[in-house]
Structure formats: C-alpha cells, structure tokens
C-alpha cells in the first residue's frame, strides 16, 4: 500500500490539492508580545494523531507509534538547546478519524484548555477551520482552500504542493514532453473541484492546448452510482467530439477511471491526471483497477517516491533515532514493502518532516514568537530542504505549500503500478 493510498483509503490524512492564497490575517499578538503557549523558555506544540484503536474493527492499519516518533524528534531538538533557547513542550491529542466530533474535541482541548502555540500532525479537510479561523492557532500539515485562507486568523503551512503551484509546473512539462501534441483534449471535474478545473483550463489556454470539451459531473460526491452514470453521459459526449485525452481534475482523477471500469467502457482516452494522489487512490483501491483504463496514463504531484524519501540521509538519521527508542518494533522499509506490509513508517516520516518545518519557521521567527513573526519567518524560507522532501522548498508570500518539487509518474503495465518518471524542480 502506498503512502497516498493509506491517506485516502483509510480516510486518515487529507493531502489536499487545493488552491492556496496568501492569508490576510493580522495575528492576535502585537509584534512585541509572545503568542499563546510561549514563554521565555518553552513553547507548547499540539500534536494530533489518528486514534486507530477507536476504529480497529473498521480499518486495521498500523502507521507506527506517533507519540514515540514525535517525542524522539522533540527530545533531540531540546537536547540541542531547543529553538531560540525555548524547549518544545508537546501536548498530544488523539483523534477518532470517523466523523468530526473527535477532531473538534482535540481542537478545543489544544486551543482552549492547553493553550498551545501551534498544532502539527493529523488534519482532515474540515478540521482546519477550528484552528485558524475559530481560534488563531497556526497549523503545519494541512492546506486550506482559497475561501478558508481568506478568513484565516493564523498562518498555516504544508509541504505537499497544492494546485495553485502544481498546475503551472506540471502542464508546461506535459506540453514539453509532447503529451498534448496532436491530441483533442477534454477537461472534466466534479462540482467541488471547479476552481481547480479553472486553473487547469487557464494554464492549458496559455499553452495553446486544443481543449475541445469541458464537463462538470454534478452528482453527489458520495453517490458512486450517480457519478458513474453521469461520467458515462460525459464520456459519450467526449467520444462524439473525438476527444483522445481526458484531464480529470481533483476527485475525478479517481472517479473517472473508476466509472470507466464500472461501465466496462470501450472508449478509453488517455488519462492526464493533474494530482497524483487521486489516480493513485484508484490504482491501489482494494476493489481493483483496469490496466486498459490506465494505459498511457501520466500524472504528477508533490508526494516524493518512497525511495526518494527513505534514501534521504536526513530522513535516515531521523528514522534511526526513532527506531532506537523502540528496538523491538522494527520500522518497515516502504521501498521493499508489499501490499501486506504494515505501513508503520507513516508516523516517523510525519514527525521528522513536520517538526523540521516547525523548527525552521520558528528559528526564522526569532526570539519574539507569535503569529506575525511566525508568518514573517516562514516567508524568509525561500531555499530550504526538509527530511525526505526530495528538493527545494520556497515558503515566500503566497506559497504556504512550499512550492516544492513535483514528481511525475506514468502507468507501467509490467509493474502494474504508477512508476516515477521525472522530477520538476
């Protein structure tokens, strides 16, 4: 099971492909005031993680020991003097990933009871509003929609590239590689992804790609049968127009190929999927996938191939320290993992990457740590690396996602999987 599939299939990690905008929040603390949870010697950091014991009868997965992973990284930071002289005080909040009640309780605990300065860890799409809007607590590990960002009271950062930075990088690469040459292209999306669809259409227009059809599937996102039916109608229209390539945006990157498979369609235009996460969800779904549907498919995204992440020397050193804390619980190597291998590398990987980003931003913020200085500190990080990130990240204004590297993958019939093809800086 791939990391991206674990994210979606288990409904545990929302790796968003959402439009980013620079937020206009002012921050609760004035320039000279310390933020909540910050003293001259300590800073409280909330850490959320999925409480899998609560759903063991539904999803039996083992992502690793979150508390051991984060505590190991934090202890190492503290042993080196902390961040600008402050020791990190972790406050853990397990979250039942089913529904919204667990996340709401965790948010209230961390912001209202524990008064943490920032929160890292596990976020589902609906969770972020509580931290950055209802409260004014910075988060690391989730992306906001344009609407959420516009009303946010606190800064937020992620290190998986979002559509506003991804699409302008990948589409010119696809064009350069001849993906669109001589093709009649159609773009489709579901209602929730219309803004991302507009980004794609705008970029394709700049590149003078021959887009002959567009369509929005208006069926409810949770109604698979209705989505399949409407996709079938859209496919008939595309076929009549001579479409040879389909660009399924957002959720359609998963649902469009699934609909073709469910319909046993013989009309199988090449797939050019803007966000790897969604196509990977289709490829690795337990219900199976169709090689015929996937023939020639190409996609890109911000999730590094596992070999890139786990061969990174900084990540290796971080993982080794976490492993030393639990020598009798070996952390599996995702490079050699099979479909039945427990994905217990997830917690260590997140702890190493998220805490590294928190450290970088906090150091750049300086001795006066509050929302304003945290944001200003992040915007000075224009050429940084993160453990396992696979490239350079730029968190300057407007790039809350780090505008990092883009990893291109193609469908391999022999491997029966998506395989890495290239990296766009």
**CATH number, domain at 38?**
3.40.50.2300
> Stretch 220-248: mean pLDDT, rounded?
97
**Greater model confidence, 277 or 339:** 277
- Between 25 and 353, the more confident residue is 353
Q: Does one domain contain both 314 and 292?
A: no
CA 344, CA 342: separation in Å to the nearest integer?
Answer: 6
3-state percent breakdown (helix, strand, coil) of the chain, nearest 5: 40, 15, 45
**Residue 400, domain member (yes or no):** no
Is the model's pLDDT at 197 over the cut of 60?
A: yes
Any domain includes 33: yes
pLDDT at 100: 87
Whether residue 192 is found in the same domain as residue 246:
yes
Tokens coding 335: 């490079």
Element (H, E) at 163: helix 163-176
Using alpha carbons only, what angle is made at residue 370 by residues 366 and 375, rounded to the nearest 5 degrees?
A: 75
What's the domain count of the chain? 2
411 and 275 in one domain?
Answer: yes
Task: Tell me, yes or no, whether 213 and 232 share the same domain.
Answer: yes
Q: Extract the runs of DSSP E, i.e. beta strands, from 252-395.
A: 270-273, 298-301
Q: For residue 213, what are the β-bridge partners?
A: 186
The pLDDT assigned to 397 comes to 87
148: in domain = yes
297 and 416 assigned to the same domain:
yes
CA 192/CA 218 separation, integer angstroms: 9
Contact indicator for 312, 338 with CB cutoff of 8 Å: no
Average pLDDT, the chain: 90
Are 148 and 272 part of one and the same domain?
A: no
CB 345 within 8 A of CB 64: yes
The tokens describing 401, both together, are: 């996602």
Clarify whether residues 290 and 315 are in a common domain.
Answer: no
Strands 118-121 and 42-50, bridge-based pairing: parallel
Residue 93: per-residue pLDDT: 96
Number of residues written out for the chain: 425
The pLDDT confidence band at residue 14, using thresholds 50, 70 and 90, is: very low
Does residue 54 sit in the same domain as residue 103?
Answer: yes
Q: What is the pLDDT of residues 96-106, one digit of tens each?
A: 888 889 999 99
How distant is the alpha carbon of residue 185 from its chain centre?
Answer: 27
Average pLDDT estimate for 387-398: 95
pLDDT band per the 50, 70, 90 thresholds, residue 31: low
Residue 40 has pLDDT above 50, yes or no: yes
pLDDT at 58 over 50: yes
Task: Report the Cα–Cα distance between both ends of the chain, in Å, rounded.
Answer: 26
What pLDDT is recorded for position 26? 47
Number of Cβ within a 10 Å radius of residue 324: 9
Residues 79 and 153 in one domain: yes
CA distance to 15, 123, 335, per residue, from 7 (Å): 7, 11, 17
The answer to whether residue 185 is domain-embedded is yes
Classify residue 220: in a domain, yes or no.
yes
Do residues 246 and 384 share a domain? no
Mark out the alpha helices in 115-191 (DSSP H runs).
Answer: 128-129, 146-151, 163-176
Q: What is the mean pLDDT of residues 363-367?
A: 97
Domain for residue 260, yes or no?
yes
Are 247 and 376 in the same domain?
no
Q: For residue 401, is it within any domain?
A: no
Both 133 and 271 in one domain: the answer is: no
Predicted confidence at residue 336, as pLDDT, reads 92
Sign of CA dihedral 125, 126, 127, 129: positive
DSSP category for residue 262:
H
Residue range of the domain that includes 247: 163-301+407-424
User: 231 near 198, Cβ under 8 Å?
Assistant: no
pLDDT of 56 over the 80 cut: no
In the chain, what percentage of residues exceed pLDDT 90? 80
Mean pLDDT value across residues 51-62: 75
pLDDT digits (tens, 9 = 90+) for 116-149: 999 999 998 778 999 999 999 999 999 887 778 8
- Residue 60: pLDDT above 80? no
> Does residue 399 lie in a domain region?
no
Does the structure show a pLDDT above 60 at 22?
no
Tens of pLDDT along 146-174? 778 888 999 999 999 988 899 999 999 99
């Amino acid at each position: 099971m791939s990391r991206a599939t674990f994210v979606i299939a288990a409904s545990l990690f929302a790796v968003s492909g959402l439009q980013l905008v620079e937020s206009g929040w002012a921050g609760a603390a004035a320039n000279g005031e310390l933020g909540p949870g910050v003293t001259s010697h300590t800073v409280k950091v909330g850490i959320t993680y999925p409480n899998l014991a609560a759903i063991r009868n539904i999803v039996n997965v083992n992502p690793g020991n979150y508390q051991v992973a984060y505590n190991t990284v934090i202890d190492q930071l503290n042993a080196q003097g902390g961040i600008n002289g402050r020791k990190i005080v972790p406050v853990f909040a397990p979250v039942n990933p089913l529904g919204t009640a667990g996340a709401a309780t965790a948010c209230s605990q961390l912001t209202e009871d524990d008064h943490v300065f920032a929160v890292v860890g596990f976020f589902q799409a609906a969770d972020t509003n509580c931290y950055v809007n209802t409260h004014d607590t910075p988060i690391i590990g989730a992306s906001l929609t344009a609407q959420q960002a516009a009303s946010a009271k606190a800064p937020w950062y992620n290190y998986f590239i979002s559509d506003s930075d991804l699409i302008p990088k990948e589409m010119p690469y696809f064009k350069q590689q001849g993906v669109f040459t001589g093709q009649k292209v159609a773009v489709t999306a579901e209602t929730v992804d219309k803004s991302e669809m507009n980004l794609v259409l705008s970029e394709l227009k700049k590149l003078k790609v021959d887009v002959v059809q567009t369509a929005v599937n208006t069926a409810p996102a949770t109604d698979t049968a209705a989505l399949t039916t409407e996709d079938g109608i859209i496919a008939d229209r595309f076929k009549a127009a001579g479409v040879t390539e389909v660009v399924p945006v957002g959720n359609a990157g998963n649902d469009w190929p699934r609909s073709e498979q469910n319909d046993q369609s013989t009309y199988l235009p090449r797939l050019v999927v803007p966000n790897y996460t969604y196509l990977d969800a289709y490829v690795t779904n337990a219900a199976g996938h169709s090689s015929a549907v996937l023939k020639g498919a190409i996609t890109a995204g911000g999730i590094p191939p596992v070999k890139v992440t786990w061969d990174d020397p900084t990540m290796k050193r971080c993982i080794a320290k976490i492993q030393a804390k639990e020598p009798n619980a070996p952390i599996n190597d995702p490079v050699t993992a099979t479909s039945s291998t427990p994905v217990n590398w997830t917690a260590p990987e997140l702890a190493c990457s998220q805490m590294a980003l928190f450290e970088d931003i906090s150091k750049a913020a300086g001795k006066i740590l509050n929302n304003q200085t945290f944001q200003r500190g992040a915007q000075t990080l224009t050429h940084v690396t993160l453990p396992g990130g696979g490239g350079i990240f730029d968190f300057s204004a407007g790039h809350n996602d780090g505008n990092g590297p883009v990893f291109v993958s193609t469908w391999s019939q022999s491997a029966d999987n998506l395989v890495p093809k290239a990296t766009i800086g």
